[in-house]
């Protein structure tokens, strides 16, 4: 006996995108739309596909928690949670319908997601495969914290599906700034404040730098060209804005010029060292000849053979972990 599927969609002022989202899941047994007090035609468009359209107050700082209300209204055996800017591919539709005909199922399923950002699909910088836990047994999954992007938590066993969701993510810079530097950064700042985070001057360099190094180098954002560089820098800037919100909430707390200068110098030196290492490691990856690698090592005066070998071994280990996650 095939299990019943409910699709729950959360939306706010998504009249331009929700039609395609709904069209991609019109095969589902039930569609529930939770409209967060849209001021455009979102509800009107949604009613072309389902009469189960519900309104609730718009709270951008509890975006995910509000989706739980939709999960409670769904009547299916399994729930597929979507945002209005996401689509279910034809291949994923087939995979899900076949899955729901099986006798033994897990309680939750992670689905890979293709992110379309600034007009192209991102393959690196942490944007792929971007697994999201979106399909789960009713009563087994829900959002449990106010933190944006924490994800659905499932009580039970989980598994990974093969086919993709398609996410029409940031279409332009203004949209990125609104979502990442206002809503998401503010939400993340509130989480840090709840944890009694103590802001230090050096964090203003360390935190954005760590985000940039992670996205552009460790997760190979450079392979996405100028798109990867821009997005890695924008993500780093969002982390700086997040810390600015914390600083504001803490009353623009003072720090001495001596401490500020010392911590800034320390973090900038560390950043410079990291940049040299990453550029060197990328160049070495491109060199196939062992003698060429040795020559490059000799030319690089910022690292000893010992330091470089340790870092490269750590890098290979980190890449193996990332490959497993894919």
Burial of 29: CB neighbours in 10 Å, binned 0-12, 13-18, 19+: middle
Would you give per-residue pLDDT tens digits along the chain (326 residues)?
Answer: 689 999 999 999 999 999 999 999 999 999 999 999 999 999 999 999 999 999 999 987 787 888 999 999 999 999 999 999 999 999 999 999 999 999 899 999 999 999 999 999 999 999 999 999 999 999 999 998 766 667 899 999 999 999 999 999 999 999 999 999 999 999 999 999 999 999 999 999 999 999 999 999 999 999 999 999 999 999 999 999 999 999 999 999 999 999 999 999 999 999 999 999 999 989 887 776 665 555 555 555 544 444 555 555 555 554 554 454 44
C-alpha 139, offset from chain centre? 25
Enumerate the domain spans of the chain: 5-168, 173-325
* Residue 2 pLDDT: 87
Closest to 108 in 3D by CA, of 129, 89, 132: 132
- Give the number of other CB atoms < 10 A from CB of residue 18: 27
* Residue 271 pLDDT: 97
Q: What is the Cα gyration radius of the chain?
A: 23
* Residue 61 pLDDT: 74
Contacts of range 148-153, beta carbons closer than 8 Å, 24 or more positions apart: 148/61, 148/63, 148/64, 148/183, 148/184, 148/187, 148/188, 149/64, 149/184, 150/64, 152/81, 152/108
* Residue 283 pLDDT: 87
pTM for this model (two decimals): 0.83
Tokens of 275: 């940049």
The class of domain 5-168 in CATH terms is alpha beta
């Amino acid at each position: 006996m095939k299990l019943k599927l409910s699709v729950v969609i959360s939306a706010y002022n998504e009249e331009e995108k929700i039609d395609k989202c709904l069209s991609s899941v019109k095969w589902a047994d039930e569609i529930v739309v939770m409209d967060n007090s849209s001021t455009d035609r979102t509800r009107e468009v949604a009613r072309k596909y389902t009469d189960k359209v519900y309104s609730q107050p718009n709270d951008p700082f509890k975006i995910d928690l509000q989706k739980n209300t939709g999960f409670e209204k769904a009547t299916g055996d399994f729930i597929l949670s979507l945002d209005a800017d996401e689509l279910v591919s034809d291949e994923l539709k087939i995979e899900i319908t076949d899955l729901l005909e099986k006798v033994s199922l897990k309680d939750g399923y992670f689905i890979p997601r293709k992110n379309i950002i600034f007009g192209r699909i991102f393959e690196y910088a942490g944007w792929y495969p971007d697994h999201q836990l979106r399909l789960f047994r009713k009563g087994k999954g829900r959002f449990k914290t106010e933190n944006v992007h924490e994800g659905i938590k499932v009580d039970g066993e989980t598994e990974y599906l093969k086919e993709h969701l398609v996410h029409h993510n940031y279409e332009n810079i203004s949209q990125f700034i609104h979502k990442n530097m206002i809503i998401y950064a503010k939400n993340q700042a509130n989480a840090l404040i709840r944890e009694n985070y103590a802001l230090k001057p050096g964090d203003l360099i360390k935190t954005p730098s760590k985000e940039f190094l992670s996205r552009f180098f460790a997760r190979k954002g450079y392979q996405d060209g100028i798109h990867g560089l821009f997005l890695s820098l924008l993500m780093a800037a969002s982390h700086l804005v997040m810390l600015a919100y914390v600083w504001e909430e803490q009353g623009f707390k003072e720090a001495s010029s001596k401490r500020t200068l010392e911590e800034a110098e320390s973090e900038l030196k560390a950043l410079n060292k990291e940049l040299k290492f990453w550029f060197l490691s990328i160049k070495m990856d491109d060199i196939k000849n062992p003698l060429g690698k040795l020559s490059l090592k000799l030319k690089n005066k910022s690292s000893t053979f010992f330091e470089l070998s340790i870092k490269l071994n750590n890098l290979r280990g980190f890449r193996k972990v990332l490959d497993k996650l894919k």
